[in-house]
Structure 1
Amino acid sequence: MREAALEVISPTRCAGCERPGALVCDDCIARITPIDPVHACTRCGAPFGDVLCTECAGDGTFAASDAPSGLHACAPAYEPLGRTLAATVFEGPVPRIVRAYKDAGERRLAQPIAELMLDAAEHAEAAAPERYGGLLSAADAITFVPVTAAAFSRRGFDHMELVASMFAYMAEKPVLDALLKHGKGDQRALGRSERQKQAQGLYEVVEPVAGKRLLLLDDVITTGATVRAARASLLQAGAARVDALAFARVW
């Protein structure tokens, strides 16, 4: 009755275009650009990983010339600590969906976001097993990049905790709330070097992760600094491997 009354007062509108009727309408779903795992960069989730992507080439930690002839520059052999996959490109209706969820508090969007991420992980394993094999199926648990205490207080919920819970339920995997995020502020206004500097020492591991293969969930990858910092903390705490899966990749 409560939900029916709310629909009368404030009908559901599409988070991508504000058309009434559905939380995400069919037109907006059709406009979402999925990232092809066959061509994605396994280091940062960028859509074009057949050659070393510009983000990875610019961080000074990998040289495309190191890859043997016939291998992708970002092939899994060069990702011993974990791979990265993003489900969609951060364009079209995706930025509006993310803002409606994180900033406007439309918590019902957690389910479609989790479903798209799960579809991406399952498709990647099937379409590119040599690159993303075991990303989801071999994971011992699902974990996530948490928000700071300040962001939790402002929003009233941890947006990735909710997505991770739904994702794990559908994937039939346990959720491990393993990370605590220190600091404050929103990284969206920061540049690449500022994001990397702020991410250092930002995450504390608060649950046992030794020997576990983890799938780390995040909403948006911009420079990859957040995922790298969270992954580093989990590996330092003894995790055997940390793959990462994001809803969207800024490109």
Structure 2
Amino acid sequence: MRHALRRAGDIIYPPACLGCGELTGEHGGLCGNCWSQLRPIEQPRCDVLGTPFSYDVGDAVLSADAIADPPPFAKARSAVLYDDIARALVHRLKYKDRTDLAGVMAGWMVRSGEDAIAGADAVLPVPLHRARLLMRRYNQSAELARALASRAGLPYLPSVLFRTRATRQQVGLGSQARADNVRGAFTVPEGRIAEIAGKSLLLVDDVYTTGATVKSASRALLKAGAGKVFVLTFARVAPGNL
């Protein structure tokens, strides 16, 4: 019966590539062409920022950026580089109501962020301001964080971190303007502090660009008493493309 229902569902909603929409053999995957264009971030990479290196420089090596400007978080990891296919997936999740993509994207994030996940006690998303949440109806980072927490078997804490003011969209802003835009934009309510005291937290977002947002959010969590913050995003913009 289950098989018959699945076949009927495939007829009504045939399996299609998550990237381009072409028909595929199964649901929740990419066609060969899109898969070949997706650029996973693996070793070698900066041990702190997760920035990919162009050649193997050894284990636990830091990038020049991590040395010159150490972030407040312990480690950042991303599943893929933010290229055309990754951008299409993020855009559909974020603006096209394709919340079904979160589970697939979280699966890739789990594989890329194994070391960050292993050190975490709980998972939480980068929050939207309530005004923007009302406009969008859901937070794409929360969809990713919820799916990731389920896959990793970690507690999900969606109501610990709040965005206290409606910041400008980060798209189109330079590095300094991004940092200024989100400075002091996050807080942990007094009544939630006990939930994170001394804990290692995994902060989830969709895209890491300059890191301004996750750095500001990490500072708020650490100020509230978190022991350590790890960052995991689906995609990250290559430093040369900032």
- Which category of TM-score, normalised to the shorter sequence, fits these structures? 0.7 to 0.9
Residue 150 of structure 1: how far off its partner (Å) = 2.7
Match of 2:99 in 1: 107
- Rounded to whole Å, the distance in 2 between the matches of 1:194 and 1:203 is 17
Aligned partner (choices 35, 41, 46) of residue 35 of structure 1: 41
SS of the residue 1:246 aligns to: strand
Unpaired runs of at least 5, structure 1: 63-78, 126-134
Matched position secondary structure for 2:197:
coil
Aligned counterparts of 2:236 and 2:52: Cα–Cα separation in 1: 8
Instruction: Work out the CA distance in 2 between the residues paired with 1:6 and 1:103.
Output: 25
**1:171-222 Cα deviation digits (max 9, x unpaired):** 1110112211131432122221110100100111132211111111111000
- The alignment's C-alpha RMSD in Å is 2.6
1:141 and 2:133 are equivalent in the alignment: no
1:61 corresponds to which of 62, 69, 90: 69
- 1:40 shift after superposition: 1.6
CA distance in 1 between counterparts of 2:173 and 2:89 reads: 21
Q: What is the rounded CA distance, in whole Å, between the counterparts of 2:91 and 2:138 in structure 1?
A: 14
Q: Identity rate of aligned residues, in percent? A: 32
Q: Is 1:119 aligned to residue 117 of structure 2?
A: no
2:90 to 98, 111, 133: 98
Given that residues 168 and 174 in structure 1 are in contact (C-alpha distance below 8 angstroms), is that contact kept between their aligned partners in structure 2? yes
**Runs of 5+ consecutive residues of structure 2 not aligned to the other structure:** none
In the other structure, the counterpart of 2:222 is: 235
The CA deviation at 1:30 is 3.5
Deviations 1:4-31 (A, max 9, x none): 78974x7664331121344542322342
Contact 1:55 1:223 in 2 (8 A): no
- Shift of the 93–145 alpha-carbon distance from structure 1 to 2, 3 Å rule, reads same
State the 4+ residue runs in structure 1 displaced beyond 6 angstroms. 4-7
Q: Which is further off, 25-34 or 93-102?
A: 25-34
* Contact kept? 2:207, 2:233, Cα under 8 Å: yes
* Preserved CA contact (<8 Å) 2:74 2:229: yes
- Please name the residue that 1:187 is paired with: 170
SS in 2 for 1:242: strand
Q: What SS class does the counterpart of residue 219 from structure 1 fall into?
A: strand
Give the count of matched residue pairs: 218
**Any conservation in 1 of the 2:47–2:62 contact (CA below 8 Å)?**
no
CA distance in 2 between partners of 1:144 and 1:113 (Å):
15
Determine the structure 2 residue equivalent to 1:174. Answer: 155
Q: Is the 8 A contact 1:144 1:217 kept in 2?
A: yes
- In structure 2, what residue type is equivalent to 1:247? F
Provide the C-alpha distance between the structure 2 equivalents of 1:97 and 1:80, rounded to a whole number of angstroms: 28
Structure 1 contact 219–246 (Cα < 8 Å) conserved: yes
Is the Cα–Cα contact under 8 Å of residues 73 and 229 in structure 2 kept in the other structure?
yes
Matched, 1:20 2:23: yes
Change in CA separation of 1:25 and 1:80 when aligned onto 2, cut-off 3 Å: closer
Does 2:212 correspond to 1:204? no
